[in-house]
Amino acid sequence: MQREITESIPLHDENGHITKEGWARKPLWQYDRTKIKAPKWKIKEWDYYAAISQDNGFGVALTISDMGYIGFSSITFFDFTNNYYNPVDSLFFFPMGKLNLPSKSDEGLIRYDDKKMKIEFETKEIPNDKIERKIRFNSSSLEDFHKNKGIEGELTFIQPKSDDTICIATSWKENRRAFYYNQKINCMTVKGQIKVGSKIYNFNESRDLAVLDWGRGVWTYKNRWFWSSLSSYVDDKRFGWNLGYGFSDRSSVSENAIFFDGNLYKLDNVEFIYDPNNYLKNWKIIDNEGKIDIDFLPIIDRNSNSDFIIIKSIQHQVFGYFSGTIKLEENKIIKFNNLLGFAEDVFNAW
């Protein structure tokens, strides 16, 4: 039985354990770095945004992360029409809290600035019960498919406060002080433009959507996880999902959820069926209750393989088109075809 948390509680008790493990529709756990019973170099904090234009076939992903003894920031531009992507990444050592990532997902200002890129995430509440997220970024070295060089952009993501999100707080069997506190905010509207060289890519506020992966935690050394995210429209209503497993102890709770018209529909366990020798072959995503039947046609494998002796990472974030059916309720079935999203298989040792 999955435990849903419905009231605000501290994330940690006095011993550094999660007070109540479970899932929630809002970020009800109160995160406080000072309550963590682990060295600073083990604390991991990250904000990851991805926005996709379904109709115009482009997208962008941005990361600012403080992973303790290593930091990582990134801008990646995607051209789905030409099956092309280009990242600009920065690695830096021992941030250990110096980036000042906020303790809440609905407020704060984060900046990263070096010779390769500038990124800024600004989050605040605005009138009409909404959260506004301003995303500003630039890099002189990024190129698009047509060899236009230099990217800059300013995007605005809007999240109605009434929308459900999926939040999870879990620990590891081998170390209950290691924890994963995460919120995924799907289906935020996005407006603004990206300029690459002289070419302008415009997001359509009435059609284009974005997701935020907001995470805080202390991990065990070796981990592998699977994650899929989609934010789109079906029948003129916002529709998407968060599907994932393999990371931390999920024996009592999952992060699997479908979103439709601002409402969350909870799932139990899911499975990704794919060829680990060729991530561009077709995938299948199913669940243990017969509620989802999803086919995935990959077009881009955003992959990396890093090995710095004690820090290792093998990542396959695969973008492509999803089709299938999802049973929300007994008499409510969603059918969809060729919606852009992603699924990933990631191994980290750090």
CB 63 within 8 A of CB 211: no
Question: Other C-beta atoms within 10 Å of 4: how many?
Answer: 12
Per-residue model confidence as pLDDT tens digits over 134-155: 999 999 999 999 999 999 999 9
Average pLDDT over residues 125-130: 97
Per-residue model confidence as pLDDT tens digits over 58-92: 999 999 999 999 999 999 999 999 999 999 999 99
Q: Would you state the structure tokens that stand for residue 150, as one six-digit string?
A: 């230099």
Q: What angle do CA 197, 136, 204 make, to 5 degrees?
A: 75
Residue 311 in this model has a pLDDT that exceeds 80:
no
Per-residue model confidence as pLDDT tens digits over 6-55: 999 999 999 999 999 999 999 999 999 999 999 999 999 999 999 999 99
Query: What is the rounded average pLDDT for all residues in the chain?
Result: 97
Alpha carbon distances (Å) from 349 to 61, 93, 305, 308, 317: 23, 16, 12, 10, 17
Average pLDDT over residues 85-109: 97
DSSP-derived secondary structure for 38-54: S-GGGEEEEEEEEEEET
All structural domains of the chain with their residue ranges: 9-349
Query: In the prediction, which pLDDT does 105 show?
Result: 98
Per-residue model confidence as pLDDT tens digits over 216-271: 999 999 999 999 999 999 999 999 999 999 999 998 899 999 999 999 999 999 99
Average pLDDT over residues 119-144: 98
Return the residue matching tokens 């904000």.
47
Q: Using the 8-state DSSP alphabet, how is residue 2 labeled? A: P
Alpha carbon distances (Å) from 35 to 9, 84, 149, 175, 219: 13, 43, 45, 16, 16
Average pLDDT over residues 111-135: 98
pLDDT category, 1, cuts 50, 70, 90? low
Query: In the prediction, which pLDDT does 340 show?
Result: 99
Q: What percent of the chain has pLDDT over 70?
A: 99
Burial class (CB within 10 angstroms; exposed 0-12, middle 13-18, buried 19+) of 322: buried
Report phi then psi at 59, rounded to 5: -165, 175
Return the residue matching tokens 């852009």.
340
